[in-house]
Amino acid sequence: MKLAIKDLSKAFDDQVILKDTSYTFESGKIYGLLGRNGAGKTTLFNCIAKDMKWNSGEILLGEDDQSLGDYDPLNIGYVYATPHLPSFMTGLEFITYFMEVNHGRLRDPNISATSYLNQVGLDQAAQTRLLRDYSTGMKNKVQMLVSLIVSPPVLLLDEPLTSFDPVAAKQMKDFIISLKKDTIIIFSTHILQLAQEMCDEIVLLHQQQLHPVTASDIHTANFEAEVVEMLSSGENTDEN
């Protein structure tokens, strides 16, 4: 599976966020998207998820180079940094409803809503509480579950794991890693250690362009210094 970004440009009025940038993401790898605050990571995710229109260029999905083409946004699982959940439903009601609506797309129809919620550490008492009374970490767990239950070919994670306790973070990390064979996983993070730990490839979004960091550099002692240096380049012209 491949997700190809070709000559993509996106601006908000006269603020250019992406300028003719290209990158190809493949399944079997976890990609870490790093960039300064306001560089455009969430904007890029919004474009890939088709939540937002872009100005020019293409975003294509396919099994291989020959089959790359337009795609249904249902192929994109998107875990937002700020969860969007119906506050008037309990966790169990929401996951049950979600599984009913997405009946034909479930990764494993034999796993129940209760079992999924238990797997992410939401016990029976939490499951029957209204989502508006959940902590941020609990909401994020529910949001992550939604994408994992339907197994989309592309999974976008906007700053995942930051609200999870150490046990939940470890569970989620293992879960994400277990998906990578069949899924294109791109996650944005500011935590370099997490990127080093989980990613096969790092992509820097800097000065309106996507830049690869070679795999051999990710695990070197100089990685942090190199990333900081790259993201600091052109600082005087950067609006951050």
Ligand X SMILES: Nc1ncnc2c1ncn2[C@@H]1O[C@H](COP(=O)(O)OP(=O)(O)OP(=O)(O)O)[C@@H](O)[C@H]1O
Q: Which residues bind ligand X (CB under 6 A)?
A: 12, 17, 35, 37-43
Give the other-Cβ count within 10 Å of 156's Cβ. Answer: 27
Which lies closer to ligand X via its Cβ, residue 105 or residue 190? 190
Smallest gap from Cβ 18 to ligand X, in A, equals: 9
Residues 140 and 226: their CA atoms lie apart, in Å, by 31
Residues 105 and 101: their CA atoms lie apart, in Å, by 9
Residues 189 and 194: their CA atoms lie apart, in Å, by 8
Smallest gap from Cβ 103 to ligand X, in A, equals: 33
Are the C-beta atoms of residues 176 and 145 closer than 8 Å to each other? no
Which residues touch 180 (CB under 8 Å, ≥6 apart)? 27, 28, 29, 30, 200
Which lies closer to ligand X via its Cβ, residue 21 or residue 43? 43
Which lies closer to ligand X via its Cβ, residue 110 or residue 236? 236
Smallest gap from Cβ 238 to ligand X, in A, equals: 11
Which lies closer to ligand X via its Cβ, residue 45 or residue 116? 45
Residues 204 and 21: their CA atoms lie apart, in Å, by 12
Residues 49 and 59: their CA atoms lie apart, in Å, by 10
Smallest gap from Cβ 34 to ligand X, in A, equals: 9
Length of the chain: 240
Which residues touch 10 (CB under 8 Å, ≥6 apart)? 16, 17, 18, 40, 43, 44, 47, 52, 54, 55
Which lies closer to ligand X via its Cβ, residue 35 or residue 91? 35
Smallest gap from Cβ 240 to ligand X, in A, equals: 8
Which lies closer to ligand X via its Cβ, residue 67 or residue 136? 136
Smallest gap from Cβ 13 to ligand X, in A, equals: 7
Are the C-beta atoms of residues 50 and 219 closer than 8 Å to each other? no
